[in-house]
Amino acid sequence: MKLRQVGPLQGILWVRRGFQIFLRQPLAYSALFFTFLFAAFVLVITMRQIGALAVLVLMPLVSLGFMLATRKAVDGGFPLPSLFIEPLRGSRRQVAALLQIGLAYAVLSMLTMWLADAMDGGRVDALQGAMASGEATAEMMDDPAMQGALLSRLLLTVPVSLLFWHAPALVHWGGAGAVQSVFFSVVACWRNLGAFTVYFLTWAAAVLVFGVVATLIFTLLSAPQLMALVAFPATLMFVTAFYASLYFTYEDCFTQDEPPAPQS
């Protein structure tokens, strides 16, 4: 595997290609996302804290599953939920490396959440509880302290995600070990920091523009209550398209040498 460096504007192309591949097979990608949600729900409900930890451990495997789905869709195939367990059919060394990556990701994620909770005084947890019980209000979201807490949590989460961004794919396609894959993932993200910055800003802009336009349309129609009906499918589309775009970030950051032609 060789590292590649791309221009900052490639980040926009990653987002566009993510939407394109999602819209090519929206039902298949939606089935993948709902399969992940259902599995996570079952784990959390049946095993509580251990289940929540298991979900974190499996997150790198989930991202790799979506990468495999996008690669299959690009080749003209139909991605199925079974792609989530395909990496587990590899060699013992690869499976062990994926498990090590998952454990490391879970530990760092838990430390990040603990630090974020300590910094915001539990505001985000209170907001999540209010949203779950239907008691969340616009005043809670408009609170500058709450917005600062959400921003600080995002700033803490993104570096952890970038640390493991390409690692599962490097194990699966590149045959790298756990430590080696994380190292090259960090190097690739650093060398293409401009593209990743534009990538995240483009996603943020897309979500913001959609929200503003949808709110404006429903306000003009004097039916702002209908916004709640649009929120869930819109969230599904954006999240699934984001996962669909992960493969393109890997494809542009790494290239694999072709095996030498046999000599006659």
Stretch among 15-29, 130-144, 241-255 having the lowest mean pLDDT: 130-144
Nearest to 177, CA basis, from 101, 107, 247: 101
Answer whether residue 263 shows pLDDT above 60. no
C-alpha distances in angstroms, 223 versus 23, 208, 214? 28, 20, 11
Which residues, other chains included, contact 8 with Cβ-Cβ below 8 Å and sequence gap of 6+?
Answer: 194, 195, 197, 198
Could you say which DSSP state residue 258 is in?
A: P
Global pTM reads 0.86
Answer whether residue 194 shows pLDDT above 80. yes
Q: Which two tokens stand for residue 30?
A: 């939606």
Report the run of H or E that residue 69 belongs to, with start and end.
helix 26-74
Q: Which two tokens stand for residue 53?
A: 């930890």
Most confidently predicted of 132-136, 229-233, 238-242:
238-242
Answer whether residue 24 shows pLDDT above 80. yes
Is the dihedral angle over the CA atoms 93, 99, 100, 101 positive or is it negative? Answer: positive
**Angle (CA) 146 135 206, round 5°:** 55
Query: What confidence tier does 261 reach under pLDDT thresholds 50, 70, 90?
Result: very low
Query: Quick check: 255 and 9 in contact, CB under 8 A?
Result: no
Nearest to 199, CA basis, from 7, 14, 6: 14
Query: Quick check: 81 and 35 in contact, CB under 8 A?
Result: yes
Other C-beta atoms closer than 10 Å to the C-beta of 47 total 13
Report the run of H or E that residue 254 belongs to, with start and end.
strand 254-255
Expressed in angstroms, the distance from the first to the final Cα of the chain is: 27
